[in-house]
Every structure is written in C-alpha cells, then in structure tokens.
C-alpha cells in the first residue's frame, strides 16, 4: 500500500507500507480528501494499475488547487485477482477509511467487490467495462462509470460488423471481460437477425493461436471481432491470422490493443485492424495528456483510454466534493455528482454527463459520436472516420 499527499501541483510519495494491518494508517487529517485506488500492481496485468495511479496523480495535481482541496491518494494492490480485490477494498474502507474508491480497473475484480462498495455508501468511480457492474435500479447507486461499458460498445460494434454481407467470427479472452464482450455481440447479432459463424476463446498469455484461427477459416469467417483484455494476446491472434492466411476483410478489436500491440505485432498484422471509441484519441487533448504523462514518468501512456477515463473520474469527484464542501458527506457528494453541469478532461467537455438515474458518462445511441480508429503503415494510430460514415461509405 502506498500513500501520496497532493496539494496544489505538488505530488510526493510520503510512505510505502505493508499491504495489510497498519492501524496508524487509519488516522485522518480534517479536511483532507482521501481517495483510495485499487488495482493490479502485481499479477498478470500491472498496466491497469499503472494507468490508474498515474492519471489520478496527474489529474489531482492539475485540479486540487483549482477546486481548493487537499487530496491524499492511497493505493492498494489487488494482485489481479478477485480475492485480492476483496481484501484491498476491505483495507481501503476499514483500515484506510477512504472517502471514495477508484477501481478496480479489471471487470472481474470490479464485479467481485461491487456489492461491498455499494453497501459502504461511498462514491465509487470505475473505468471497468463489464455492464453487470452497473445496477441503475439501486437507490442510492454509488457507482459512476467514466468509461463506456461493453454493452454500449457492442451495440455500436455490431452495427459495423453486420453492416455488409459478412461472415463474423469471435475470439475472446477466457476471462470475465472477454466472455462478457463475446456474449454482448452474440446478443446484438440475435437482435439484428444475424448469425455468428464461430466463437473461439484464448487463454491469457497464450503464444500460439493457430488452431483457433484455422477453425475460424473452416467456418468461412471473413470478419473477426476480438474481445481480448491484453494487447499482447491480440498480437498473438493477429499473428495467427497472418500465418494461417485467414482472409479477413475486417478485424475489429477494442482500445485495450493500445497497451502493447504495436510493439509486439508486425506491420502486416495491422492491416484491416480497427477499433471503435467515443473519444478523439488522435486529438489535441489526448496528445497533451500523453506529453505530460511522458514528461512526468519517462514513458508514454500504456492504455491511453484508461488514462483519459480516470482523469474524467477525478474531475467528476473533486468537482462534487468542492461543491458540497465536505468529502465525508457521502450522500451530498453523490447527489452533486449526479447534478454536475459538465465534466472536463482538459479541453474536452461533457455536458450534463450524469443524472439521478444515469451514472454512465457515454451514450451509445448515435453512431456519429463514435470514431473508427486504425493504424497507418508505421503502426501509428489514425482516425478513419465516424462510425456512421464508415457504415455508409466504408473506411
């Protein structure tokens, strides 16, 4: 567990303690806003931890002075497992007595702790994608999601996948996120009266997926949807597509590809590979965040979409705390979050993003609000066009 005290633009590591049971750590300073971060510092996907902690640090450094707040960041490792997430959240709530929880960023771990955090009655900010995490029927509902959810993504991706005379196959990670993504596309296909020709699962960390791609080819698949958690696993699949000669007109994935795909994949594996996202990932805001991130940490963001989502979460939460004037007034802060006039990520502004019955920042209905991204010949990200135009004219 680590703590960072943040006031104005100063960020300092003030302690590095054992992961459990330090009674003195529960002592609080009056008026200090204590944010608890939970993510996989260790385990199979530490990039999700890194790109939770760093953007929160950057955003707090940007916004604490603006909102007149002193903020302490407390981080706990969930070890990338559901049991680890349960222990981490209990530590944040009971030992650290945090005012709000950010994370876990991985869907399976977030699902594990959802009931506990909801019962705690404290604001919960999430960028996890599994739609099951959000239960809008809860009153009060303490969860606010500043990322899209997998169901929303599936509804727009399905429009793209089935917009032509295509034979669609799915490859998904054998984990909660991958399974949820595959099931969402299958449900969308059924609603559209379309069929999925084949579905294959890849175990995280697999290095050879040629057998799975051969089965897709045997099923006549020419359009592939990838619901895969890690960019490294996506690279394994695209390598197998190239090696097995699968004639895929389109390979549609998700933004997790940005974590490490380009460094692991050969240029021919980028051909026809696209993903869809509601944020302008090639615009000035994202470029500015990336520059500041690299200046602070000596490397580019690993998962730019998560960086963006967590920065939106910080603005959402700190705005509400500043409006209420007391982070310990949990009900007041939650109601203030629901009533925010806007949430900003640098120069990107979202008007009235939440409401009493709407704790999702993005809406999926309008395809013109989603952008199709691909890669150029050098592996650099490029915007191909908005989804509506790509469906109508191709891209």
Above 60 in pLDDT, residue 254? yes
CA angle 91, 97, 100 (to 5 degrees): 95
Q: What is the pLDDT of residue 3?
A: 60
Q: What is the pLDDT of residue 283?
A: 95
Q: What is the pLDDT of residue 14?
A: 31
Q: For the segment 24-44, what is each residue's pLDDT rounded down to a tens digit? A: 345 667 789 999 999 999 998
CA dihedral 82, 112, 128, 265 (to 10 degrees): 30
Above 80 in pLDDT, residue 259? no
* 170 compared with 14, residue with greater pLDDT: 170
Strand order in the sheet with 100-102: 10-16, 2-7, 70-77, 32-39, 100-102, 124-126, 143-145
Residue 337 has which token pair? Answer: 């979050």
What is the pLDDT averaged over residues 182-208?
94
Pick the most confident of 5-19, 221-235, 278-292, 354-368.
Answer: 278-292
Q: What is the pLDDT of residue 2?
A: 66
Above 50 in pLDDT, residue 21? no
Strand partners for 45: none
Categorize the per-residue pLDDT at 379 as very low, low, confident or very high, splitting at 50, 70 and 90: confident
Q: For the segment 298-354, what is each residue's pLDDT rounded down to a tens digit? A: 999 989 999 999 999 999 999 999 999 999 999 999 999 999 999 999 999 999 999
Q: What is the pLDDT of residue 130?
A: 86
Categorize the per-residue pLDDT at 149 as very low, low, confident or very high, splitting at 50, 70 and 90: confident
Tally the C-alpha atoms within 13 A of residue 353's C-alpha that lie toward its C-beta: 24
Strand partners for 374: 382
Matching CATH number, 2-148+283-351, of 3.30.590.10, 3.60.15.10, 3.40.50.2300, 3.30.70.20: 3.40.50.2300
Above 90 in pLDDT, residue 81? yes
Q: Give DSSP secondary structure letters for 24-43.
A: GGG---TTEEEEEEEE-SSS
Mapping DSSP to helix (H, G, I), strand (E, B) and coil, where does residue 124 land?
Answer: strand
Residue 133 near residue 126, CB atoms below 8 Å: yes
Categorize the per-residue pLDDT at 6 as very low, low, confident or very high, splitting at 50, 70 and 90: low
- Measure the CA–CA gap between 15 and 5, rounded to whole angstroms: 9
- Measure the CA–CA gap between 56 and 47, rounded to whole angstroms: 14
CA 56, 59, 61, 65 dihedral sign is negative
Q: Where in the chain is the domain with CATH 3.40.50.2300?
A: 2-148+283-351, 164-277+366-393
Above 90 in pLDDT, residue 133? yes
Mapping DSSP to helix (H, G, I), strand (E, B) and coil, where does residue 273 land?
Answer: strand
CA angle 195, 201, 205 (to 5 degrees): 150
User: What Rg do the C-alpha atoms of the chain give, in angstroms?
Assistant: 21
What stretches of the chain show up as alpha helix (H) in DSSP? 47-63, 82-90, 107-120, 150-161, 176-192, 210-218, 231-244, 261-264, 284-297, 304-324, 330-338, 387-393
Tally the C-alpha atoms within 13 A of residue 337's C-alpha that lie toward its C-beta: 32
Categorize the per-residue pLDDT at 147 as very low, low, confident or very high, splitting at 50, 70 and 90: very high
What is the pLDDT averaged over residues 101-110?
96
- Measure the CA–CA gap between 367 and 103, rounded to whole angstroms: 28
Query: What percentage of the chain reaches a pLDDT higher than 70?
Result: 92
What is the pLDDT averaged over residues 233-243?
92
Above 60 in pLDDT, residue 118? yes
Q: Chain-wide mean pLDDT for the chain? A: 89
Q: What is the pLDDT of residue 151?
A: 81
User: Could you tell me whether strands 100-102 and 32-39 are parallel, antiparallel, or unpaired per DSSP bridges?
Assistant: parallel
Cβ count within 10 A of residue 44: 17
For the chain, first and last CA: distance in Å?
46
What is the pLDDT averaged over residues 62-73?
97
Phi and psi, residue 105, nearest 5°: -75, -20
Matching CATH number, 164-277+366-393, of 3.90.1300.10, 3.40.50.300, 3.30.230.10, 3.40.50.2300: 3.40.50.2300
Q: What is the pLDDT of residue 258?
A: 77
């Amino acid at each position: 567990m680590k703590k960072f005290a943040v006031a104005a633009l100063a960020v300092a590591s003030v302690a590095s303690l054992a992961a459990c049971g330090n009674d003195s750590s529960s002592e609080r300073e009056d008026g200090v806003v204590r944010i608890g971060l939970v993510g996989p510092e260790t385990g199979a996907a530490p990039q999700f931890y890194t790109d939770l902690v760093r953007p929160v640090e950057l955003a707090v450094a940007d916004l604490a002075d603006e909102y007149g707040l002193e903020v302490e960041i407390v981080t706990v490792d969930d070890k990338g497992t559901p049991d680890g997430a349960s222990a981490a959240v209990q530590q944040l709530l009971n030992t650290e007595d945090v005012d709000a929880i950010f994370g876990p960023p991985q869907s399976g771990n977030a699902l594990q702790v959802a009931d506990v955090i909801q019962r705690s009655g404290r604001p919960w900010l999430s960028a996890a994608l599994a739609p099951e995490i959000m239960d809008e029927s809860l009153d009060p509902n303490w969860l606010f999601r500043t990322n899209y959810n997998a169901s929303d993504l599936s509804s727009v991706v399905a429009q793209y996948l089935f917009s032509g005379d295509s034979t669609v196959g799915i490859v998904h990670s054998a984990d909660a996120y991958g399974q949820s993504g595959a099931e969402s596309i299958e449900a969308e296909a059924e609603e559209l009266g379309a069929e999925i020709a084949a579905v294959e699962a890849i175990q995280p960390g697999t290095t050879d997926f040629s057998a799975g791609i051969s089965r897709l080819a045997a099923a006549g698949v020419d359009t592939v949807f990838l619901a895969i958690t890690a960019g490294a696993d996506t690279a394994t699949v695209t390598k197998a597509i190239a090696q097995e000669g699968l004639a895929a007109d389109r390979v549609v994935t998700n933004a997790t590809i940005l974590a490490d795909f380009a460094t692991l994949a050969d240029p021919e594996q980028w051909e026809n590979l696209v993903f869809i996202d509601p944020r302008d990932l090639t615009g000035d805001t994202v470029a500015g965040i990336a520059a500041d991130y690299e200046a602070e940490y000596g490397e580019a963001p690993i998962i730019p979409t998560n960086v963006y989502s967590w920065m939106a979460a910080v603005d959402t939460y700190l705005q509400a705390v500043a409006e209420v004037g007391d982070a310990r007034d949990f009900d007041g802060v939650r109601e203030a979050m629901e009533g925010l006039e806007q949430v900003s990520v640098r120069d990107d502004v979202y008007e009235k993003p939440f409401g009493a019955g709407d704790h999702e920042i993005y809406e999926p209905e309008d395809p013109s609000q989603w952008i199709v991204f691909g890669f150029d010949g050098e592996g650099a990200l490029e915007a191909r066009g908005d989804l509506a135009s790509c469906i109508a004219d191709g891209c």
